[in-house]
Chains A and B, each alone.
Chain A
Amino acid sequence: MLTFTLRRLSLFIFTMLVLTLLSFSLSFLFPGDTVINHSGQINASTTELAHLNQVYQMDKNIFHQYLAYLSHILNGDFGQSMASQSPISNEIRKLLPATIELSLVALLIAMLVGIPLGFIAAIKHNKTSDNVILSLAMLGYSIPVFWLGLLAILVFSIGLGWLPSAGQISLLFEIEFVTGIQFFDILLSDSPYKWQAFRDASAHMILPACVVALAPATIFIRLSRASMIEVLAASYIRAARAKGLSFQQIIFRHAIRNALIQIIRHVGLQFANLVTIAMVTEVIFSWPGIGRWLIDSIYQRDYTAIQSGLLVLSCFIFIVHILTDFIYAALNPLARGNKHGS
């Protein structure tokens, strides 16, 4: 496990280097002056500009410039947003938790729906229910997410009026910002309308989370179906059957556990996909998350915000990736011996 940890750690450091290098080079690729792209101070006076040039070591060679940039990032200084002239780290601190909340709830829904359906399909392999589940999975995988979001709003918000169509919580509730994750903040607050607020926040969450969850859920269906079919064909299942165990015992005690391990491995990769879908969904449902902020910054040509947003979002994705790798290795001793990189 120690070698595994060290290997993952080296991969993590390498990835962070590549990502910061990418975001560093974006400042050169974007139009405009490099140091202004780094810092986001578009209205800097001559003295301020001279100071910035010195801080970012613009007079030295590119390696020193990169080190200066890296030390800024490590100190949590992403510069200022060109559009609002407020520090980007504050904005990210406010917006990222909303995205984390939405994507984690969506991941949970996707797994809770997708994995059991996939298992059912695998158990009924090559029968009608298998085919129905597979066709539904393919349809769900093919639906463009923005269209699905709009249809969901049309049906559930406008047509039936069951659920709210935009935002994270009704403006009537004043919730103090503590962790940024809305549900925790509501539970921590001492407002007398705590439970109404909680119910309202859940109602706001349902539609966007389900829209985000659909495509990953279909992928979980396919993954769990494939891994379950593989497990059911293994000889220890035949041995268990020969031993005289009932069907339920075989499935719940042996097959599901072994099939689940294979799925956990893929959660990290699916999470990256899910975050992209969440970005588009945030735009449609006016969710105050980092995805909507990033797309808004593209409209506003806010280059400092774009590069920091990219860096933070991909770091977040990669950290989840590494975490699922660790969980997988902790559950499955066979995976720890994995050689070289991935």
Chain B
Amino acid sequence: MAREKIYLEEVFPSPFMQLWGIFRKTPVAMIGFCCFIFLIFLAIFAPVLAPYTPVDGNLDMILLPPAWHADGNVSYLLGTDELGRDMLSRLMYGTSLTFGLSFIVVIFSLVIGVVIGSLSALTRGIKSSFLNHFLDVVLSIPSLLLAIIIVAILGPGISNTVWAIAIVFIPQFIHITRYAVKEEFRKDYVLASRLDGASNFRILYYSVFPNIVERLMSQATLAQSAAILDIATLGFLGLGAQIPLPEWGAILANGLERFYIAPWTVYLPGLAILFAVVATNLVGEGIRHALKLRKEN
């Protein structure tokens, strides 16, 4: 970097900036990151960008194949479904339901999980042991099974699905925060600030959190890829988003009856889910890779 150094002072980038520096140099991770940003952009601006509404059908244009097909029509780029609804618009609106909601769900569970986890990391003895056993039990039940049970209690619907998945993901954030905070609390720099007279809360906020934030982010990407799959699976099973919401899993289930004559109504939403999950996993993989490299240096 051609920069005039006025003071003979070395600049140490913060841990987070170091991580970003390594992350930026991994091309695959950056591609994933760009796709991730693109999906977030699409989730927010889908109503502005989509050429048609997702619910109104054009009955003259039923089951139109995608535009590259011989019978396709270029004004319906990805074809239409059995009610003449534009697949492209439905998929774009679906981004804000499947991808956008999973993003919000993960942020929500992350915040609650981190608060409970860091508070519980400060407890000891029987309370701590009970929580540990309890978390073990909850974590041994698969997330989708638990979400299905909660949906069974609350009744089907997209908002109930979102609540169910948010509740299901909290324990794993509690677990990882608790583990990470406990590990950090054994280190010397925490002892140093404790000798300075800092309270537990102050140590948590100023010393420990900046050091565990990347680990939480890496767990959050794992949780998000699971959340996308869970929302889509519940939508597919008819327990999540209800007709006519353009949720990706629900679109796929909707196309099931015409699977053989109109395969694009099934493979396009599936590809969309695959794309979103791969993008999320690439970002997570990039973060974990960068964390490993930073530790080695």
Give A285 Cβ to nearest chain B Cβ, in Å.
13
CA distance A141 to B229 in the complex (A): 11
Give B237 Cβ to nearest chain A Cβ, in Å.
6
Q: A317's closest neighbor in chain B, by CB?
A: B140
Residues 121 to 160 of chain A near chain B (Cβ within 8 Å): 138-139, 141-147, 150-151, 154, 158
Contacts of B144 in A (CB 8 A): 276, 279-280
Q: Is B137 an interface residue (CB 8 A)?
A: yes
Contacts of B143 in A (CB 8 A): 276
Q: B285's closest neighbor in chain A, by CB?
A: A138
Give B168 Cβ to nearest chain A Cβ, in Å.
11
- Please give the number of chain B residues whose Cβ is less than 8 angstroms from any Cβ of chain A in the complex: 42
Q: Is A1 an interface residue (CB 8 A)?
A: no
Q: Indicate which residue in A15, A143, A158 contacts B274 across the interface (CB closer than 8 Å).
A: A143
Tell me if A299 and B238 are in contact (CB < 8 A): yes
A138-B285, A139-B278, A144-B229 known; A18 and B137 CB under 8 Å?
yes
Contacts of A19 in B (CB 8 A): 137
Tell me if A306 and B278 are in contact (CB < 8 A): no
A29-B153, A147-B270 known; A294 and B278 CB under 8 Å?
no
Q: Is A340 an interface residue (CB 8 A)?
A: yes
- A interface footprint on B133-156 (CB within 8 Å = 1, 0 otherwise): 110110011111100110111001
Q: Is A11 an interface residue (CB 8 A)?
A: yes
Contacts of A318 in B (CB 8 A): 140
Contacts of A158 in B (CB 8 A): 260
Contacts of B278 in A (CB 8 A): 138-139, 142
A11-B136, A19-B137, A142-B277 known; A283 and B237 CB under 8 Å?
yes
Residues 275 to 316 of chain A near chain B (Cβ within 8 Å): 275-276, 279-280, 283, 294-295, 298-299, 303, 306, 310, 313-314
Contacts of B277 in A (CB 8 A): 142-144
Tell me if B132 and A341 are in contact (CB < 8 A): yes
Find the residue from A269, A314, A321 having the highest chain B CB count within 10 A: A314
Give B202 Cβ to nearest chain A Cβ, in Å.
29
Tell me if B133 and A341 are in contact (CB < 8 A): yes
Q: Is A68 an interface residue (CB 8 A)?
A: no
Tell me if A310 and B149 are in contact (CB < 8 A): yes
Q: Is B263 an interface residue (CB 8 A)?
A: yes
A14-B133, A18-B137, A138-B285 known; A147 and B152 CB under 8 Å?
no
Interface size classification for chain A: 35 or more
Give B226 Cβ to nearest chain A Cβ, in Å.
10
CA distance A15 to B132 in the complex (A): 12
Give A42 Cβ to nearest chain B Cβ, in Å.
17
A29-B153, A139-B278, A280-B233 known; A342 and B285 CB under 8 Å?
no
Tell me if B281 and A276 are in contact (CB < 8 A): no
Residues 97 to 137 of chain B near chain A (Cβ within 8 Å): 129, 132-134, 136-137
Tell me if A280 and B132 are in contact (CB < 8 A): no
Tell me if B237 and A273 are in contact (CB < 8 A): no
Q: A134's closest neighbor in chain B, by CB?
A: B285
Give B280 Cβ to nearest chain A Cβ, in Å.
8
Q: Is A272 an interface residue (CB 8 A)?
A: yes
Give A239 Cβ to nearest chain B Cβ, in Å.
24
Q: Indicate which residue in A269, A276, A303 contacts B145 across the interface (CB closer than 8 Å).
A: A276
Q: Is B96 an interface residue (CB 8 A)?
A: no
A150-B259, A298-B239 known; A145 and B233 CB under 8 Å?
yes
A147-B273, A341-B132 known; A30 and B153 CB under 8 Å?
yes
Give A19 Cβ to nearest chain B Cβ, in Å.
7
Q: Indicate which residue in A18, A143, A276, A306 contacts B142 across the interface (CB closer than 8 Å).
A: A276
Contacts of B173 in A (CB 8 A): none
Q: Is A70 an interface residue (CB 8 A)?
A: no
Interface pairs (10), CB distance under 8 Å = A14-B137, A15-B133, A142-B225, A150-B259, A150-B266, A273-B142, A276-B145, A279-B144, A299-B238, A342-B136
- B residues with a Cβ closer than 8 A to A are 129, 132-134, 136-137, 140-145, 148-149, 151-153, 156, 225, 229, 232-233, 236-239, 249, 252, 256, 259-260, 263, 266-267, 270, 273-274, 277-278, 281-282, 285
4 new A-B contacts at CB < 8 Å, known A144-B277, A150-B270: A139-B278, A272-B140, A279-B144, A298-B151
Ordered nearest first, which 9 A-B pairs have the shortest CB separation?
A147-B270, A276-B142, A142-B277, A276-B144, A142-B278, A272-B142, A298-B152, A146-B236, A144-B273
